[in-house]
Amino acid sequence: MPRRMKPMPDLPALLERLNPQAELVERHLWLIALFEWLRGDCSSVAASIARIELLLDAMQAHPGSRVRLQAWWQTLVDTIDGTALLADYGFASRSAFISEFFERVRLKLLPGTPETADSSALFSLVLSHGFDAQWLAALDEIALARIQALLQPPASAPADASRPALSQWQSTVLEAVTFCTTQVRAAGFTPELRLRMSAPAREAAAFHCLVQDFETLRDVYLASPADDSDERQAALQQFRERLEACRSAAATVYTHLDAHGISVNLVFQLRQLRERVLRIRALLDCLMSVHPAASTARLLSQLVLVGQERRSLRALIDSNTSMLAAKVAERSSETGEHYITRTRAQYRAMLRDAAGGGAVMSLTTLVKFIVLSIGLSAFWSGLFAGLNYALSFVLIQLLHWTVATKQPAMTAPAMAAKLKDLGAPGAVGTFVDEVTHLVRSQVAAVIGNLALVAPCVVLISAALWFAFGAPMINVKEADHVLHSITLLGPTALFAALTGVLLFASSIIAGWVENWFALHRLDSALRYNPKITAALGVGRAARWAHFMHDNISGLAANVSLGLMMGLVPAFAAFFGLALEVRHVTLSTGQLAAAAATLGLEVLTQSAFWWCVAGIVVTAVLNVGVSFYFAFRLALRAHNVSGVNRARIRAAIGARWRSKPLSFFWPAKEDPDQGTPEQELPHG
């Protein structure tokens, strides 16, 4: 069924409805309808400009309508406080990121009413489309002069020659500059920003003199608004320089955040301060530039865009979390470099560490079946399963071993960082080398995990048989395993979901590590008097060092384990039959089923469909996690314009010429002989 379009109002009908004595809501509804007519179908800026010319011509041809419009305009400006619009529109009423997030949710979900005296609320209803910014910016000097003359009320009394009077617009703009200036100064004095500024920025005391410089400029301007004297230009230049000094002083906080941890709330406050400085500059142009009407049109155009962004949740998240994303990607990149093996010695070390991880995961498989056999409710079963996974992952980390699926979220940022330099000579070949190293390292980790988890599960099952007369699982449970992890079922979907959880755990790890550094908890553990009194100075120092080195891994492992156990339980609450498919755990489960069913299971097609399911699970666990981490790293590093076809062709050529290099380091490896890198663990 075609969408019913709202009928477009016509100009004669609009002018007929113009009534300065109407109720407030009726006047505002008329204004909204007028701008709908000016906007048209948002397809042509020229058409909107032509409608403005038509409106101006109609006002000139009908003096009665012109008088009514001027009276209507005067009623509007007397009723609505324009200062709030110019000074505060687009800025958060609160300084916290979370409160601003929910405020934007409210703005998106709840409709606004034209029955309001709030100029900002009315502005968002009248100029509600991004197209408005385009035709406002396209207004020329002639059209702006005609609009100004149309809205200018007739003089009611002669001005005082000793002190020239300001127009209502000039007074409003000047008051808005006053409000913005005091807000910038107050923001500069908040402890969160002031204590993190550089020492030279604090010593310069730019925020201390800001209001004084503005008052000097205001006094000079009020003495002669129309006279662009040298004194006024000097005061204006001094105030602009002071604003720039304030902005520069606040920018030094970013250096502190980058070194000591990112605070999203602080980044939000810094962006607000910067935007207020820019707003002050735009308001000053409306007062003191050579073409104030054009500056006013630009300001209104900017306010339209600000209003659009004000309702955008994505813009808020992107702009204020970009530094945190970059910090997480940078940290992951540093860790991921150590997961990439380049020599045979490193390759063997990866196999060894992965084999150790596989051995621990065989015990995880045993505990998993024990938890399932108890028959707990969905939540408690999921919680204990999650704790089982988390403790196993932490144990692997503490034993300096590794789990294959934890690596992609770390290696992806390392690969993304290398894409920034693809323009250099030979960079594509070097990048293909790194891809080869990465694939080979991941294959080694998967093989190492699976090569030991399966035989260890079989040995445990055999030991249970000899000790208690029963294997790890009974025949019914073994049949259930064959039917659950088969490729013919939803295994691929569940494996992709697990890949998302693997990526999410890396984000949680980066956030926790940043939070740990931001609040200087390593220093608190090392020097806090209560902690040193309880643990002793030496032990407190060792704990601080341990947490500094391992907080990221602990957060990743614990969060991943709990998500793997609890996400299916919470999904079941909503009727979603979701499960996790982790390649190492699935291999352990299949090995337990094979130990119960005996060698004849090798003749069953169900077994080999499960083997195929494990292969697909490995690919999706690794691939999905790598994909999301890689995309995040690309955005965090601002990498764009990558010639993907060129890279794919180079990788394809390497595969055709040296396929074994993706699985085993060759003797002619150019990095052969370099010192063995220490591989991180967990």
Residue 173 lies in a domain: yes
Q: Is there a single domain that holds both residue 443 and residue 562?
A: yes
Q: According to the model, what pLDDT value does residue 307 have?
A: 87
With 0-12 CB in 10 A as exposed, 13-18 as middle and 19+ as buried, what is 132? buried
CA distances, 679 to each of 339, 554, 622 (Å)? 6, 17, 19
**Tens digits of residue pLDDT in 529-561:** 999 999 999 999 999 999 999 998 899 999 999
Band of residue 670 on the pLDDT scale cut at 50, 70, 90: very low
pLDDT of residue 641: 60
678 inside domain: no
Q: What percent of the chain has pLDDT over 90?
A: 53
Domain termination site, one of 311, 331, 349 = 311
Residues 650 and 623 in one domain: yes
Q: What is the pLDDT of residues 270-295, one digit of tens each?
A: 989 999 999 999 999 999 988 899 99
Among 286-290, 313-317, 615-619, 624-628, where is mean pLDDT lowest?
A: 313-317
- State the average pLDDT over residues 581-605: 94
Average pLDDT over residues 399-427: 76
394 and 481 both lie in a single domain = yes
Cβ neighbors of 512 (< 8 A, separation 6 or more) are 551, 552, 555
The predicted structure's pLDDT at residue 154 = 55
Q: For the segment 137-173, what is each residue's pLDDT rounded down to a tens digit? A: 999 999 999 998 888 765 444 444 444 578 888 999 9
- Confidence band (pLDDT; 50, 70, 90) for 251? very high
Give me the mean pLDDT over the 38-66 stretch: 91
* CATH number of the CATH domain containing 450: 1.20.1080.10
pLDDT bin (cut points 50, 70, 90) of residue 567 is very high
Residue 214 and residue 185 in one domain: yes
Query: Is the Cβ–Cβ distance between 230 and 198 less than 8 Å?
Result: no
pLDDT score of 473 more than 60: yes
Instruction: List, for residues 179-218, the tens digit of each pLDDT value.
Output: 999 999 999 999 989 989 999 998 888 999 999 999 999 9
Residue 355 in contact with residue 402, Cβ under 8 Å?
Answer: no
| Lowest-confidence segment of 94-98, 617-621, 647-651 by average pLDDT | 94-98
User: Among residues 453, 446, 468, which one has the least CA distance to residue 594?
Assistant: 453
323-to-1, 320, 412, 472 alpha-carbon distances in Å: 46, 7, 18, 49
Is 161 within a domain?
no
Residue 582 domain boundaries:
323-662
Helix (H, G, I), strand (E, B), or coil: what is residue 380? helix
Residue 426 lies in a domain: yes
**pLDDT (mean) for 510-530:** 91
Number of independent structural domains in the chain? 3
Residues 401 and 504 in one domain: yes
Residues 15, 146, single domain; the answer is yes
Provide the angle, in degrees to the nearest 10, between the axes of the packed helices 264-288 and 230-260: 170
Shared-domain flag, residues 598 and 611: yes
Q: Do 551 and 524 share a domain, yes or no?
A: yes
How far, in Å, CA of 397 to CA of 389, rounded?
12
Give domain status of residue 160, yes or no.
Answer: no
Residue 318: inside a domain, yes or no?
Answer: no
End residue of a domain, out of 250, 284, 311: 311
434 pLDDT above the threshold of 90: no
Do residues 64 and 89 both lie within one domain? Answer: no
In-domain check, residue 682: no
Which residues, including other chains, have CB under 8 Å from residue 667's CB and lie 6 or more apart? none
Write the Ramachandran bin of 90: left for phi over 0, alpha for psi from -120 to 50, otherwise beta.
left
Tokens representing 548 are 């500094």
Cα–Cα distance for residue pair 679/340, rounded to 1 Å: 8
Side chain identity at residue 64, one-letter code: G
Asked if residue 567 and residue 628 are part of one domain, the reply reads: yes
**673 — alpha (psi -120 to 50), left (phi > 0) or beta?**
left
Residue at 220 is within a domain: yes
Q: Are residues 599 and 524 in the same domain?
A: yes
Angle at 654 between CA 652 and CA 660, to 5 degrees: 115
Q: Is residue 363 located within the same domain as residue 287? A: no
Q: Within 189-312, where are the H helices?
A: 191-194, 199-204, 210-223, 230-260, 264-288, 292-310
Distance CA 595, CA 383 (A): 28
